[in-house]
Amino acid sequence: MARKLPRRDVVIVGLGWTGAILAHELTDAGYDVVAIERGPWRDTATDFNVGYMPDELRYAIRQDLFLKPAQETFTFRNNTSQTALPIREFGSFLPGNGVGGAGVHWNGHTWRFFPSDFNLKSHLDQRYGAGFVHKDLQVQDWGLTYDELENSYDRFEYLAGISGKAGVLKGQTQAGGNPFEGPRARDYPLPPMKMTLAPTMFAQAAQGIGLHPFPTPSANLSGAYVNPLGIAMGQCTYCGFCERFGCSNYSKSSAQTTVLPLLMRKSNFEARTLCEVTRVNMHPTGKHATGVTYVDVNGEEFEQPADLVLLCAYGLHNVRLMLLSKIGQAYDPNTGEGTVGRNYCYQTNSGVQLFFDDKIFNPFIAAGSLGQTVDDYNGDAFDHTGKDFVGGAGINCIPTNGRPISYRPVPPGTPRWGSAWKKATKDNYLRAFSFSSQGSSYAIRGNYLDLDPTYKDRFGNPLMRMTFDFPDNDIRMSNWVTDRMQEIAKALNPRQSVVSRRTKPYNIVPYQSTHNTGGAIVGADPKTSPLNRYLQSWDVHNVFAIGASAFPQNAGKNPTGTVGALAYWAADAIIQKYMRNPGPLVQA
């Protein structure tokens, strides 16, 4: 029997980027907020300690900061004809855990999606004619526009001190920025980072064949910064320990470095750590939620009543909590009915590795987002007329590290051990680099999330089942973009270049991307989305789900910039509209 606690105005599930931003905004508006986080408290000095953080084995290989599969995992299959099996060891993607969430151990690429990524279906229909988008693709509009989200993007970029160069400022194209981006009201708060050799060469080569390279917008700070909350951050030292690591320098943006130092001091905010929410509790009418139930680390169960429930866990966990709590109707791929679990998407990546004889790249001098990007072939920045796909990919030369357990480039055909292996490892370590495509991922009917019929978590609740393979559209897109990458590779004139194309089936073992999107998507129609444009459940008006789970499909860009913007967008809707008159913000 759960112990029932005193009511709070707002309960937030998960204290990462979105939970921290919403908690900050709501406490500033005077509400009493409790955030319930299943992982531990984490702070820079203690948990990302400079004395031992640069430890590849512990953090990158043994995955010390991540969610442990023993605590919760997912089951996986490529298609509905297979039996899903548990992901016993995380590989392809690495969900976060603890205060700060995946925002602790990200690389820091901080993008805005293109305007055409938001009204995607209507944009493609208008540009290419109805019927151009293949009937198997469940491409949808978000129900909100880039212009509506612009201010929220701006606030997230200034919160996080993003280093970059504007491409389109108040409608005017700026030299050196991304000419394909949507218009922004002001430039990034910090200038771009200093470039290393590999992205410098990549940009020269790309420019030489008529493309438009620009510095990747980065949450690794190019200089000291004080954000609008008065929280100070330091300059990145190019240490090469970003992704999978916390930052010891206070120079990678995270909840720890941008929000928590202020939020934690507020008397109307409380964080409960090592407490795992197991379900959202529903009123018997099923029309509104009454709060959440959680289990603390010693197994004691509590009920936390609240007027408003905000799901701010990693996107996949938001979807699972909605399924476990029966918020909205579960999606059925056979009938196409139901919405929770619909439009699970990922990322469609490929790569080119280049070997040189006469260059020293010093791959260890790096940062998670230090590099150059070409967006000429991303989204709908290019004309798809006559092509057999929609979507596109950003082409990124962002050498993030030279950590040698994982990073040891050798040419194909090199033995994996013995003296020949050793010589090739020694000869090539400093003399290679790679660049990659990060491609869009568009929904099809059979890619979805639901509850597994067999496997359970340690509390006996069903694991979430992921059914996914790369859609043929996305494979065709990736192959076409990879051909363009080979044109850049040729212009770089390496001794040897090695192409890795994206192929089916999707494999859960090698790391690809922790950009799992969809499942609890926004939209204009309750028949095809469980959330309205304010990330509010169509069915249960006092539940909002904030995260990449809300993306109807994924763009060829990292999600965090858009996730941060959605947090501000939802916070505004909650404070300015919902709290004044609780109820559905959009009439179905």
Partner 1 sequence: MSLDAAPPVSVTRRRFLASTAAIAVLASAGGRVQAASLSGILPWQPYSATPPTPVVPGGWTFFTPAEARAVEAIVDRLIPADDVSVGGKDAGCAVFIDRQLSGSYGSAQNLYMQPPFANGTPSQGFQSPLSPMGRYRQGLAGLDAYCKANFAGKSFDGLSPAEQDDLLKKMEANSIKFDSGDAKSLFELLLQNTMEGFFADPIYGGNKDMVSWRMIGFPGARYDYRDHIDKHNQPYPLPPVSIMGNSTWVRR
> Binding to partner 1 (CB under 8 A): which residues in 24-43?
34, 40-41, 43
Beta carbon nearer to partner 1, 81 or 172? 81
Place of tokens 């470095």: 257
d(CA 47, CA 44): 6
Residues 233-262 that bind partner 1 (CB under 8 A): 235, 237-241, 248-249, 260-261
By C-beta, is 77 or 484 nearer to partner 1?
A: 77
Query: What is d(CA 181, CA 173) in angstroms, rounded to the nearest whole number?
Result: 9
Specify the residue, 168 or 365, whose C-beta has the smaller distance to partner 1.
365
Contacts of partner 1 in 46-65 (CB under 8 A): 46-47, 49-52, 54-58, 61-63
Paired with 168 in beta bridges are 173
> Contact region for partner 1 (CB under 8 A) — 170-178, 270-278, 313-321, 567-575?
270-278
Site for partner 1 in 422-451 (CB under 8 A): 422-423, 425-426, 429-430
Q: Least distance from C-beta 505 to partner 1, angstroms?
A: 5
Burial of 405 per CB tally in 10 Å (0-12, 13-18, 19+): exposed
Residues 203-222 that bind partner 1 (CB under 8 A): none
**Residue 465 and residue 77 in contact, taking contact as beta carbons nearer than 8 Å:** yes
Q: Which of 197, 524, 585, 586 binds partner 1 (CB under 8 A)?
A: 197
Least Cβ distance, residue 579 to partner 1 (angstroms)? 22
Q: Which of 28, 187, 296, 472 is the binder for partner 1 (CB under 8 A)?
A: 296
Residues in Cβ contact with 430 at an 8 Å cutoff, skipping those fewer than 6 apart: 360, 361, 362, 363
Number of residues that bind partner 1 (CB under 8 A): 96
User: Which lies closer to partner 1 via its Cβ, residue 146 or residue 245?
Assistant: 245
Binds partner 1 (CB under 8 A): choice among 29, 85, 451, 491? 85
CB of 144 to partner 1, least distance (A): 34
Q: Can you read off the two tokens belonging to residue 259?
A: 């929000």
Which residue, 237, 256, 416, 438, is CA-closest to 351? 438
The four Cα atoms 222, 227, 231, 232 give a dihedral, to 10 degrees, of 20
Interface characters, 273-292, with partner 1 (x: CB under 8 A) = xxx-----------------
Token pair 């060891």 is at which residue? 89
Q: Which of residues 503-542 bind partner 1 (CB under 8 A)?
A: 505-509
Q: Does 228 bind partner 1 (CB under 8 A)?
A: no
Q: What is the CA radius of gyration of the chain?
A: 23
If phi > 0 it is left, if psi is from -120 to 50 it is alpha, else beta; for residue 325 that is alpha
Pick the stretch among 143-151, 294-302, 316-324, 518-526 that binds partner 1 (CB under 8 A).
Answer: 294-302
Coil, strand, or helix at residue 319?
A: helix
Q: Which of 1, 81, 172, 265 binds partner 1 (CB under 8 A)?
A: 265
324: helix, coil or strand?
A: helix
Segment 358-417, which members bind partner 1 (CB under 8 A)? 359-360, 362, 364-365, 402-405, 408, 416-417
Q: How far is the CB of 350 from partner 1 (least distance, A)?
A: 17
Q: End-to-end CA distance of the chain, in Å?
A: 37
Residue 105 Cβ, how far from partner 1 at the closest point, in Å? 16
Q: Which of 139, 159, 221, 271 binds partner 1 (CB under 8 A)?
A: 271
**What is the C-alpha separation between 138 and 36, in angstroms, rounded?**
34
Query: What is the Cα 65 distance to its own chain's centre?
Result: 17
Q: How far is the CB of 446 from partner 1 (least distance, A)?
A: 15
Written as six digits, the tokens of 45 are: 């000095």
Can you tell me the distance from the alpha carbon of 324 to that of 370, in angstroms, rounded to the nearest whole number?
Answer: 40
Contacts within 8 Å (CB) and 24+ apart, 406-410: 406/56, 406/60, 406/61, 407/363, 409/353, 409/355, 409/434
CB of 478 vs partner 1, minimal distance in Å: 17
Q: Is 68 in the site for partner 1 (CB under 8 A)?
A: yes
Subset of residues 444 to 483 that bind partner 1, contact rule: CB under 8 A: 454-456
> With respect to partner 1, which residue has the nearer C-beta, 239 or 477?
239
Hey, which residues between 93 and 152 contact partner 1 (CB under 8 A)?
none
Q: Are 328 and 540 in contact (CB under 8 A)?
A: yes
- Asked about 515 being catalytic, the answer comes back as yes
Q: In whole angstroms, how close is the CB of 248 to partner 1 at the nearest point?
A: 7
Instruction: Say which of 105, 384, 515, 541 is annotated catalytic.
Output: 515
Euclidean distance between CA atoms 296 and 294, whole angstroms? 7
Which residues are identified as catalytic? 515
